[in-house]
Amino acid sequence: MSQLARLISILTLLKSRRVLTATELSNRFDVSVRTVYRDMQKLIEAGVPVITLEGRGYTLMDGYTVAPVQFTEKQANALITAEHLVNQSNDSSFVKDFGEALTKIKSVFRSSVLEKSELLNNKMYVFDTRKQNISSNALSEIQLAITNFNYVEINYRKADDPNISFRKIEPYFIFSTENKWILIAWCYLRNDYRAFRIDRIQHFKILPDHFEDRKFSIQDYIKREHEEALRENNGSI
């Protein structure tokens, strides 16, 4: 049994309002007590209100319920497929947050759907043909900065440039291309919109101050970039 399937099984048992001991869970799933401790920590990190009763075991906080949502087998398979694709992302924060969200979603799967989704999970693989070893850990925080209009300070390194520049930015838009996440932001150093590859951000800090929305339009940005490219090409003829 995979860790995810075990976590969902533990959650199902907890939802029955039982008090479960680490030893009981260890014997039930044929794992060590230390593994049970790690499983409980995973559930807590995913937002499940697990309570430890001193000398008795684990239970759920009173009033905790899971929405009665029913997923079809095809819908469950779509989520499993999405998980494989997400795991190819170069941003570890995104992979982590999606995994925790999926743990919660799978907790409402019917047992038959869960069993088949685990079967599909073991029969699927996404090959990564990237030659570059690129990674980042900023996407989730930057997404929050975009939706909450927070200034961000970054140390940024351009391609083939050993120098790192400090930028204060207003984040507006993100997109992914060739497994690379790109952030479009207003850059105070350049006094204009600039595109930043998130994996080239060496360090970032989300500031508590909020900026005024400049009503950024990705369509206008693309049009402007296209027109500038045409002018450069015409000038080089």
pLDDT tens for 85-98 read: 888 888 899 898 88
Structure tokens at 25: 């869970």
Chain centroid to Cα 27, Å, comes to 33
Residue of higher predicted confidence among 63 and 197? 197
Sheet holding 192-197, edge to edge: 192-197, 180-187, 164-177, 150-157, 201-210
In this prediction, residue 171 has a pLDDT band, given cuts at 50, 70 and 90, of: very high
Q: Considering the entire predicted model, what is its pTM? A: 0.65
Q: Does 237 have pLDDT greater than 60?
A: no
Residue of higher predicted confidence among 165 and 232? 165
Q: State the Cα torsion 9-12-13-15 to the nearest 10°.
A: 160
**What pLDDT shows up at residue 35?**
93
Segment 216-221 shows an average pLDDT of 94
Encode pLDDT of 19-47 as tens digits. 889 999 999 889 999 999 999 998 888 78
In this prediction, residue 4 has a pLDDT band, given cuts at 50, 70 and 90, of: confident
Q: How far apart are CA 206 and CA 151, in angstroms?
A: 6
In this prediction, residue 236 has a pLDDT band, given cuts at 50, 70 and 90, of: low
**What pLDDT shows up at residue 179?**
77
Q: Does 207 have pLDDT greater than 80?
A: yes
Q: Does 131 have pLDDT greater than 90?
A: no
**What pLDDT shows up at residue 212?**
96
Strand-strand pairing, 192-197 and 201-210: unpaired
Q: Does 78 have pLDDT greater than 80?
A: yes
**pLDDT above 90 coverage of the chain, percent:** 38
In contact, 174 and 91? CB cutoff 8 Å = no
Q: What are the distances in angstroms from CA 215 to CA 169, 204, 222? A: 15, 24, 15
